[in-house]
Amino acid sequence: MDELVQLLEALTDQLISEIEHVDYQAMERFVERRESIIAGIRAVEGQQPIQDKHKESIKRVMQYDPIITRKIAFFCNEARLKMQGIQQANTQRNVYDAAYGSDSLFFDKRK
């Protein structure tokens, strides 16, 4: 249990120290590692109760959750904006794409 809680603390502290420069891939790796550590803590918790020192450490780590959540929301918003840009580009391109077959002919009349 000690190792897992210490690993969770170290992982979180490292992310928080460089949160401004983290890219989405690093955030994804962090979330995956954090998930596996928490799963390990829950597995150990079933066998032995969590000690008070571990509870304090976990509470301290959880205080960073709003910061981490804001960064994840930033990445989600960034992805949404890029998707909107792609959709808008597709819409504008489709306006110029021929809606008729390439073998069609048009005749102009003189008045």
The model's pTM: 0.72
- For the beta carbon of residue 44, count every other beta carbon within 10 angstroms: 17
Cβ-Cβ contacts under 8 Å for 79 (sequence gap 6 or more)? 24
CA atoms within 13 A on the CB side of 85: 6
In a domain, 31, yes or no: yes
Q: What is the percentage of the chain residues whose pLDDT exceeds 90? A: 62
Compute CA 38 distance to the chain's CA centroid, rounded to the nearest angstrom.
18
> How large is the average pLDDT for residues 79-96?
88
Q: What is the percentage of the chain residues whose pLDDT exceeds 70? A: 90
In a domain, 109, yes or no: no
Overall domain count for the chain: 1
In a domain, 56, yes or no: yes
**Domain span holding position 47:** 2-83
Would you state the pLDDT for residue 104?
A: 65
pLDDT at 7 over 90: yes
Condensed to tens digits (0 to 9), the pLDDT of residues 23-51 reads 999 999 999 999 999 999 898 888 888 88
pLDDT at 107 over 90: no
13-17, 31-35, 70-74, 103-107: the lowest-pLDDT one: 103-107
pLDDT at 22 over 90: yes
DSSP letter assigned to residue 19 = G
In a domain, 28, yes or no: yes
Condensed to tens digits (0 to 9), the pLDDT of residues 59-82 reads 999 999 999 999 999 999 999 999
Distance CA 16, CA 64 (A): 8
Which has the closest alpha carbon to 60: 13, 4, 3? 13
Amino acid letter for position 104: S
